[in-house]
Amino acid sequence: MASRQAIDTIRGYLFQFDNTILQILNIDDEESIFTIEGVEDIDITGSDGETTAIQCKYYQESDFQPSIIKDAIGWMVKDFSERLRNNNQLIKYKLYGHYRSGHERLAKTLTVEDLKTVFLTTVTRGTDAKPSETTEIHTDLGLEDENLEKFLLQLEIDIEAPTLEEQHSQIINKIIQIGLSSSSDAEFFYSKSLYMIRNLAKSKNESDRNITKRHFLSSLRDSKDILFDFWFANKVEMVNYCRMIKNKYFSDSQSPKSRFFLIDKSNLQDNELLELVKSISDKWSSGGRTVREPEKFCPFIYIHQIEEGSLLRLKSDLINDGYLFEDGYYYRGANFDVKLFLRDVVEKGSQYRAKLKIINNIDELGVIIETKPRNLNVYEFFSNIPYTNINESIKVYFKNYDYLKGVLV
């Protein structure tokens, strides 16, 4: 049950984030301001100053019942009443949701009487110790029928929203239609869009949760980072998630590049990490598949959040298994030497040939990146949030060892 509820919660947030993306892509006014988690899930303020506050609901496994949206409408009426009382500008309200069935239970046109009896009145069940009580939100707020008539003019209820999958297809089609991306890369632009909206939603200050369509599109076009996060991973099956990323970014293992693999240790056991590092070395080193070796190269590996003792054991196990490596130190107690670390890989067949280069900490990683290695490719794998600010990197969320194997091995 807990797992089912967690999945439903994730899909609910995805529906909200996706609808935000779709609203931004569809709007004509590029200067309209979108506020994520403002008055409602999405607030849209046009150039004319008019604001629409949208609350999203996703109940794919549930039939519609008026009670499901009762609290939401009650909250909207309270916000409306406060604006009336303070002579503030009124806004429009929209409830936008998907339900399995039961759509006929919502009246085509809401009357004031419907609003009062169905959505604003609550009667508690009485007991021997306590009689039943009736609460009327409109009465408590001092709202007259004419006020409620005005509220209904500001309210829109749409309970026939598409499924999460249908809405996703609409986003992909729109990304292609407006020329933001080709059809082959549309999913990757969607992933960046999702990450951008999710980051806005996390900001504490409302001003930091604002974005216009113009800024949204320019950020997508200008950013060279590629990011696949928790939310994107939860939209697709693990096999499809891994295959899509592998085919796009990890199919060419034998071209001469400076490949940096940054791996979060958090969700990995020591034995899993050892096997992963060896697999990366085997696959992404020169000469692994061909006799000819026009250029020599090997992968660079940084393990994030690994304890010193675990790193030493990893190095020892690698040596014992025949995987010679460079780590930028001439001798015990020496300072890190970036030139030593970046020196050329020796000829194939030499007993001193390094099969990989291990970066000991994030500070050394920064020093190495500053030298601007040629043909630089940075792949950052994270299990919580990205942990570097390296430009033009590919950041990939993974849940466990199987995800990493699916992408890299």
Lowest mean pLDDT among 214-223, 248-257, 306-315, 360-369: 248-257
Q: What is the mean pLDDT of residues 60-85?
A: 96
> Residue 351: is its pLDDT beyond 80?
no
Q: What pLDDT score was predicted for residue 274?
A: 97
Cα(362)–Cα(306) distance, rounded to whole angstroms?
Answer: 11
Res 142 pLDDT > 60: yes
Q: Which of 133-142, 146-155, 208-217, 278-287 is least confident?
A: 278-287
- Mean pLDDT of all residues in 8-26: 95
CB 358 within 8 A of CB 319: no
How many domains does the chain fold into? 2
381 & 335 share domain? yes
Give the residue from 198, 221, 244 where a domain finishes.
221
Regarding whether 216 and 254 lie in a shared domain, the answer is no
Q: Model confidence at 83, in pLDDT bands (50, 70, 90)?
A: very high
Q: What is the 3-state secondary structure (H, E, C) of 231-274?
A: HHHCCCCHHHHHHHHHHHHCCCCCCCCEEEEEEECCCCCHHHHH
Final residue in a domain of this structure, among 175, 201, 221: 221
Clarify whether residues 180 and 317 are in a common domain: no
Q: Are both 33 and 147 inside the same structural domain?
A: yes
* 344 and 217 within one domain: no
The predicted-structure confidence for 218-256, as pLDDT tens digits, reads as follows 999 888 788 899 999 988 889 999 999 999 999 888 788
Instruction: Looking at the structure, tell me whether residues 230 and 217 fall in a common domain.
Output: no
| Judgement on whether residues 337 and 349 belong to the same structural domain of the protein | yes
Residue 275 domain boundaries? 225-408
Clarify whether residues 393 and 350 are in a common domain: yes
* Residue 145: both structure tokens together: 């029928």
* Count of CB atoms situated within 10 Å of the CB of 109: 6
> Confidence band (pLDDT; 50, 70, 90) for 279?
very high
- In this prediction, residue 253 carries a pLDDT of 81
Domain match, 16 and 132 both:
yes
Using the 3D structure, point to which of 201, 221, 241 is the last residue of a domain.
221
**Same domain flag for 327 and 353:** yes
As a whole-number percent, the residues of the chain with pLDDT over 90 amount to 79
Same domain, 17 and 138: yes
Could you tell me if 150 and 74 lie in one domain?
yes
Q: Which of 40-49, 162-171, 251-260 has the lowest mean pLDDT?
A: 251-260
φ, ψ dihedrals at 12, nearest 5° = -65, -45
Q: Is 42's pLDDT higher than 90?
A: yes
Distance between CA 81 and CA 198 in Å, rounded? 31
